[in-house]
A and B are shown apart, each in its own frame.
Chain A
Amino acid sequence: MNSRPADLSVSLGGLDLESPVIIASGVWPYESELWREDRLEGVGALCTKAVSLEARRGNDGMRVFETPCGMLNSIGLQNGGVRSFLKEYLPLVKGSNRPFLVNLVMESEGDVRANIALLRESSSSIPAIELNISCPNVDGDGMAWGMTPEGTAHATAIAREEWAGPLWVKLTPQAPDIAAVAKAAEQSGADALVCGNTWLGMAMDIRRKRPVFQRVVAGLSGPAVFPLALRTVWQAAGAVTIPVVGCGGIAGWEDGAAMILAGASALEIGSSLFTDFDLPRKITGGLRAWLAEEKEPSLAALVGRGRV
């Protein structure tokens, strides 16, 4: 065994990770070469692209749009459905030799139960589910499940009933009361919370004099949202006892360190991988050096240290 200068391993929400850096959902393509060890240095775990019960074609019209220090996206959860995922992509994901989370789209209650049932049939292969509750509750008022404590609790409880393994719930930052939805997810059986998802924004096409995106609004991500995401991590971590994963605009180890100090037990990175494949290695390298400088034995010991 090589002795490590500093321990970056973390255990949270039923998973043991060698590194706190998790690739967020919707980022990493199912290209075999990118799931090889040499392309995943520094990566502790990966979230799959969104998996819905049936295939989704995704949104028409403009899908990505650059903004100052960030980007808007309106992809629309394009994916081939859970059966296609299990057959075509699960072997590739397993080949990464890391824990992974299947990012599950919270659709209608019936769909999500059926989706999890199909995942359960191959449960020996799937370490954890990350439940995306930013999607509209089509059985209810059409508002995203995660907007209210009640919707969050309901969605989490359904998934909890169907899935005995680790269940992480990815909150939506659009929820007006982050602490309340965080508590609701915890009380309904979530093992960890991911804080959060993209932030609703929009762009205007000033030549065509209409919104850039067909659905008008789109999700903002990238370094521009980091301070907002840090704040939601702070609020969620202050409200629950289960681990919180910081996600939103992390573009370097300093951002990761800030998230950890605010109470995050691990980090999800997304858009910044679009511009730098090497970011996980850079973040873990930076965090190791930081721990050494601060004479801290482990990252886990610094979780929430910045809370006042």
Chain B
Amino acid sequence: MTCGGRAPRDYSARIESNRLLGEKTGLLTVLCPAIAASAEPGQFVMVRPGGGDDPFLGRPLAVASVSHGTFTLGDELTVRGPIGQGFFSSREGLPLPEKVILAGGAVGAAPLLFALERLGGRAERTVMGVAGSGWEDFASWLMEVFPALELYSDDGTLGIKGTVLSGLPEELPGNTEVWACGPEGMLRALAAKYPSDGGRIRVALEARMACGMGGCLGCVIPTRSGQKRVCVDGPVFAASEVLWNEFPSR
């Protein structure tokens, strides 16, 4: 009952394109008008091949963008979604901040692209980080889709050497929020960087999960208001809500 009355549904969908952005990274374009019409940034979908039992479970994939257009027939998928509380719905009435800094680690950039669209292209800054070597195609995509991208890489081969965090201000101005998605370590470090401003750090978490409907309880995390399911109670949380020190190691 924390799902806000919008439980996901299952849809058959077709792959329109699959652009490889690295060895294990891709941008999948899927035709699914119902989800395109109702998804919001920060929400995700569970994607499965259309038939068969193996792989058995869906894969949680963030929605990077939605658009309306033509399609060509391709492989069929089952898509469950849209799932969860996104960057907007998770605010529970809290007004939008004046300024938003988008902070993404690797494929965590995906929901931030959608967020940027819904912010009307107005982000104070867009700071993204990748490992470096091997991420060239992904970095190219980032540069294509994010205007004014500030790119960091751990090994310095792409953009500036450093992490996303090194690109963020030491003090967060009062009118500004950080909307972030990336590896758990990055989000944890982000919360630690602004210990007294955690309410203005909105993190989209990833978790291993089976169902994407709030049923399996595989993705629960500890928060200040008890155990929460990443899938339907999140995946977007205020960093101050999450009990990072009690986070399960998975």
Contact = CB atoms under 8 A, between A and B. Distances in A.
Interface of A: 26-34, 39, 57-58, 60-71, 73, 75, 78, 92, 222-224, 251, 271, 273-278
A32 B227 contact: no
B196 interface: no
Given A30-B1, A33-B7, A271-B210, A63 B217 contact: yes
B208 A31 contact: no
Contacts of A277: 9-10, 80, 213
A73 B216 contact: yes
Contact of A276 (B10, B209, B219): B10
Given A26-B216, A63-B217, A275-B211, 15 more contacts: A26-B215, A29-B213, A31-B214, A34-B213, A39-B7, A57-B227, A61-B249, A62-B250, A70-B56, A223-B56, A273-B215, A274-B57, A274-B215, A275-B56, A277-B10
Interface of B is mostly: loop
Contact of B3 (A31, A63, A278): A31
A68 B54 contact: yes
Contacts, number: 114
Interface in B230-250: 232, 248-250
Interface string B7-22: 1011000000000000
Contacts of B1: 30-32, 92
Nearest to B9: A277
A254 B81 CA distance: 27
B214 A29 contact: yes
A274 B214 CA distance: 10
B12 to A, nearest CB: 10
A222 B216 contact: no
Interface in B199-227: 208-220, 227
12 contacts: A28-B215, A29-B214, A57-B227, A64-B57, A64-B209, A64-B218, A71-B57, A75-B218, A273-B211, A275-B48, A275-B56, A276-B10
Contacts of B208: 62-65
A58 B56 CA distance: 24
A278 to B, nearest CB: 6
A31 B213 contact: yes
Interface in B53-78: 53-58, 78
Top 6 nearest A-B pairs (CB, nearest first) are A64-B218, A29-B214, A274-B211, A33-B7, A223-B53, A29-B215
B3 A274 contact: no
A222 B56 CA distance: 8
B32 to A, nearest CB: 15
B185 interface: no
Nearest to A252: B53
Contacts of A224: 53, 56
A207 B7 CA distance: 36
